[in-house]
Amino acid sequence: MPPLPDAELVRSSVQLYRYLLRCCRRLPRGPVQQHYRHAIRQSFKVHADEDDPERIQQIIKRAIEDADWVMNK
């Protein structure tokens, strides 16, 4: 089960960013939530110059899978 019901609708990097931040809201407040919010921001900065559509879709797929793992942890 995806962490939020709209995971299959994520098609762009902006949609992914918003989706992951919404997932963070479901985590316990405090250091855990801050850690994942920071990790999301850093990942987007690292991949900001990515322009290959296939690679972007791979990153989106992997990020959703990782979010699913974190939410079920």
3-27: per-residue pLDDT in tens?
Answer: 566 777 788 888 999 999 999 998 9
20-55: per-residue pLDDT in tens?
Answer: 999 999 898 999 999 999 999 999 999 989 999 999
pLDDT(1) > 50: no
pTM of the entire structure?
0.81
Judged by phi (left if over 0) then psi (alpha if -120 to 50, else beta), residue 40 lies in alpha
Which is nearest to 9 in space by CA: 66, 67, 60?
A: 60
Task: Tell me what pLDDT residue 9 has.
Answer: 79
